[in-house]
Chain A
Amino acid sequence: MSSETLVPSQQRELTDVAFDPITRIVGNLGIYTKIDFPRREVVECRSTSSIFRGYSVFMKGKDPRDAHFITSRICGICGDNHATCSVYAQNMAYGVKPPPLADWIINLGEAAEYMFDHTIFQDNMVFVDYCERMVKETNPGVWERAERTPAPRADRHGLRTIGEIMASYNPFEGSTYKEALEMSRLTREMICLMEGRHVHPSTLYPGGVGTVATPQVFTDYLVRLTRCLDFIKRAVAMNDDVFDFFYEALPGYEEVGRRRTLLGCWGAFQDPEVVDYDYRTMNTWGNAMFVTPGIVVDNQLVTTDLVDINLGMRILLGSSYYEDWEGEETFVDTDPLGNPVDRRHPWNQTTLPAPQKRDLNGGNYSWVMSPRWYDKRTGDHLALDTGGGPIARLWATALADKVRTPYVRSTGHSVEIDLPRTPSSPEVRLEWKPPAFPNTIERNRARMYFVAYAAGMALHFVDKALGEVRAGRTKVFQDFTVPSDGIGVGFHEAVRGVLSHHLVIRDRKIANYHPYPPTPWNASPRDSYGTPGPYEDAVQGCPIFEENGPDGFKGIDIMRTVRSFDPCLPCGVHMYLGGGRTLKQSHSPTFGAHS
């Protein structure tokens, strides 16, 4: 972090504070803020990313059947989400429907992934911001109060005071921190049972899976899931205690990270009894998904139709290091239903990278583009966010009122989760209700509820998969032929939010491929209309509750806000330039370049 005092402007004394790189996230994110310390408020924020990946560039010309293996490498933590999404896109392009057992196996793998990734992020990264050591440094007054505040749900998690819970979050030594690491091992084993390997699955293919479906595989999964349930029940109770305490100890904390409700969820967990991966019936099978896709604007559900969601996607530039693709080829004029597809839609995007100096004062400042969703009701290009994933998934599912399973249900205004009795805990009913508005605390709170949601769903999927196996229907792969021309789109939820893969095949090769994971939505810079991205929007206007002044400032409230979105900017720029020659050309967008 660096800071310098600016000349007072407009009666405000602004201090430039930069956090670059932000730690405890994947990849390379910089947050550049202007803070009004006397009024304790962040006035301006810009979010920049200094990494370029180029998947959309080098996927061209490759065999489409390789797509899920290659795009899995986009991420080192949610690679299986990319593989799954790519498989969905390929299934559509090839016109293949996998056998039901294959879809149940993918669902089981993905449920374990949500449990793994959310737990490790929440307890090993997010809670470092709420642990004893951090709170002692940033808000000593809050820590004193925490020590003498009894924990309301102590009977469920066994820790007497809020202070004890915070101490259990201390990195490397706290009991919850260490237990979460053990959980991450169990949940990873669950993924490996279903998808062969974590984080880059080896048994997921278009047309099905290579997992050999035996009763043993599913019971091995169930044994681990049962152990996780004990932890999850306690973790949800601890989360609620700590977050409720923050509201109580710091009146007004709900304003930290507050943003207008603009949430997107692309849906997860296909229902094999409905899905046929045909674009023309996408609305039907999209609505049958076990996490309902949806767009929530101002607390109202705008749509759950994946065709609407797909056609509304727009990739804008404005502050990104790319040239516009206006003059480039249009790959898809109309979708298979005859609807026109926009020039700025991912199917028609051509990535033209243009490295340049970072200019935070009205110029380009990020490698991230600005995905937006075109709201045809108002004509606005909405800067949707995912809120880190869970809040958007739970919100869309709660309002859509479509999910009905024995363990998880949508009620139209909330989501109910029933977790059965497990070795060291009784049965529990959890209910997640949408908050009045999304903010830092609510994004974090939703995360553990979604872990419980995924665990409840996993119980259902195990039942269904074992039902198939017991009936003797062990087929897990359907053969197919790659068409010479085709298009496909996969909609899924990466752990931290919306994920789409858009694929165009020509001459049996990839002509265009564009993955849109959650972080381009969340970390996007100001677009061509001047609309700030969600991080920028949530941090701007954020009140400062930290007790430290400008000298010892840690920016904890800003960090909590950015981390509540579960930032993940996949790391590393590896560019092979031919002839074994490494081109040494220094671009400006590097750490700390700020002038």
Chain B
Amino acid sequence: MGITVGKPDVRVDKAAHVPGVRRGNHQGLGKHQPGHRRDDTSTARRSTGINARRHDPIMPDMPNLSPA
């Protein structure tokens, strides 16, 4: 019984994380994302690095809805 298999070429955990490699989910990394504020809002800097402020709302009360 059981399935007969050959010798594996790689270890089964080959795809697992390698320590030292940057992780996108890393805690604290969020604060380095340009245009994302700590209060869960964002600015036009999220969408563009060129003259981003000119794409922000003209009135302070308006929501900041940046282009994709």
Q: How far is the CA of A62 from the CA of B25 in the complex (A)?
A: 17
**Quick one: which of A61, A581, A585 contacts B11, CB cutoff 8 A?**
A61
- Sorted from nearest, which 9 A-B pairs have the closest CB atoms? A61-B13, A578-B6, A475-B40, A472-B63, A61-B12, A354-B1, A472-B41, A63-B16, A212-B68
Q: How far is the CA of A473 from the CA of B39 in the complex (A)?
A: 8
Q: B68 and A62: CB pair below 8 A? A: no
Q: A216 and B68: CB pair below 8 A? A: yes
Nearest CB on B from A319, distance (A):
16
Main secondary structure of the interface of A (DSSP, over half): loop
Nearest CB on A from B26, distance (A):
6
A412 near B: Cβ within 8 Å? no
Q: How far is the CA of A482 from the CA of B24 in the complex (A)?
A: 12
Point out residues on A near B: beta carbons under 8 Å.
58, 60-63, 65-66, 99, 205-207, 212, 214-217, 323, 352-356, 469-475, 477-482, 508-509, 575, 577-579, 581, 583, 585
Per-position 1/0 for B9-29, Cβ under 8 A of A: 101110111000000011111
Q: A583 and B25: CB pair below 8 A? A: no
CB closest residue in chain A, given B35:
A474
Q: How far is the CA of A355 from the CA of B2 in the complex (A)?
A: 7
A99 partner residues in chain B, CB cutoff 8 A: 40
B42 near A: Cβ within 8 Å? yes
B55 near A: Cβ within 8 Å? no
Nearest CB on B from A58, distance (A):
7
Residues of B in contact (CB 8 Å), total 32
CB contact list, B16-66 vs A, under 8 A? 16-17, 25-30, 36, 40-42, 46, 63-66
CB closest residue in chain A, given B29:
A479
Answer whether A481 and B26 are a contact pair too, CB < 8 Å, given A60-B12, A61-B13, A508-B17: yes
Nearest CB on B from A365, distance (A):
16
B5 partner residues in chain A, CB cutoff 8 A: 575, 577-578, 583
B27 partner residues in chain A, CB cutoff 8 A: 479-481
Q: How far is the CA of A328 from the CA of B16 in the complex (A)?
A: 24
Q: How far is the CA of A245 from the CA of B68 in the complex (A)?
A: 51
A470 partner residues in chain B, CB cutoff 8 A: 63, 65
CB closest residue in chain A, given B3:
A353
Q: How far is the CA of A214 from the CA of B28 in the complex (A)?
A: 25
CB closest residue in chain B, given A215:
B65
Q: A577 and B6: CB pair below 8 A? A: yes
Q: Pick from A66, A478, A479 the residue with the most CB of B within 10 Å.
A: A479
Nearest CB on A from B66, distance (A):
8
Nearest CB on B from A510, distance (A):
8
Q: B6 and A205: CB pair below 8 A? A: no
CB closest residue in chain A, given B62:
A472
A481 partner residues in chain B, CB cutoff 8 A: 25-27
B12 partner residues in chain A, CB cutoff 8 A: 58, 60-62
Answer whether A475 and B15 are a contact pair too, CB < 8 Å, given A207-B25, A480-B27: no
Q: How far is the CA of A472 from the CA of B17 in the complex (A)?
A: 35
Answer whether A214 and B67 are a contact pair too, CB < 8 Å, given A479-B28, A481-B27, A579-B7: yes
